[in-house]
């Protein structure tokens, strides 16, 4: 496995984060320009944004929770050079679930669907960490 193989899912995850940032910024700017929200309404972080803006913000913020463990793990995989097909498939599975999770978050936002896909991605990431730990601790 090459460095590029493992960096590509990272680039996609980072791209997702930037897309959500831009979508959130556009939605916030639109709400402020239209007068739907006044600057004083949100100056101290009060939760007075419209629902759609909050959905984008929550989806964006969520990219700094579980994905942090993904970024760290990929860095460790690259440093230790133990990457294999299983870890790469799990990496892509995690990133695909993050894309689906974000899509659900910013569209119809059904918690049951969002939670299910979040859980599936979490299991993929946990499995990645377990496989990585076994490889490092056993020297496989």
Helix axes of 111-138 and 66-80: crossing angle, nearest 10 degrees: 20
Section 77-92 average pLDDT: 97
Provide the number of structural domains found in the chain.
1
Pick from 28, 132, 124, 38: which is nearest to 77 by CA?
132
Domain that holds residue 63: 3-138
4-49 confidence digits (pLDDT tens): 999 999 999 999 999 999 999 999 999 999 999 888 888 877 788 8
CATH at 99 = 1.20.120.550
User: What is the model's pLDDT at position 73?
Assistant: 98
């Amino acid at each position: 496995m090459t460095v590029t193989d493992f960096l590509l899912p990272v680039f996609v995850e980072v791209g997702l984060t930037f897309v959500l940032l831009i979508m959130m910024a556009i939605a916030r700017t639109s709400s402020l320009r239209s007068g739907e929200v006044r600057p004083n309404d949100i100056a101290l972080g009060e939760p007075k944004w419209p629902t759609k803006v909050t959905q984008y913000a929550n989806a964006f913020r969520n990219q700094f929770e579980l994905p942090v463990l993904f970024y760290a793990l990929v860095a460790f995989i690259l440093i230790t050079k133990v990457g294999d097909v299983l870890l790469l498939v799990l990496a892509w599975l995690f990133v695909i679930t993050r894309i689906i999770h974000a899509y659900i978050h910013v569209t119809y936002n059904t918690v049951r669907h969002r939670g299910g896909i979040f859980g599936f991605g979490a299991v993929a990431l946990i499995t990645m960490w377990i496989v990585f730990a076994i490889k490092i601790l056993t020297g496989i």
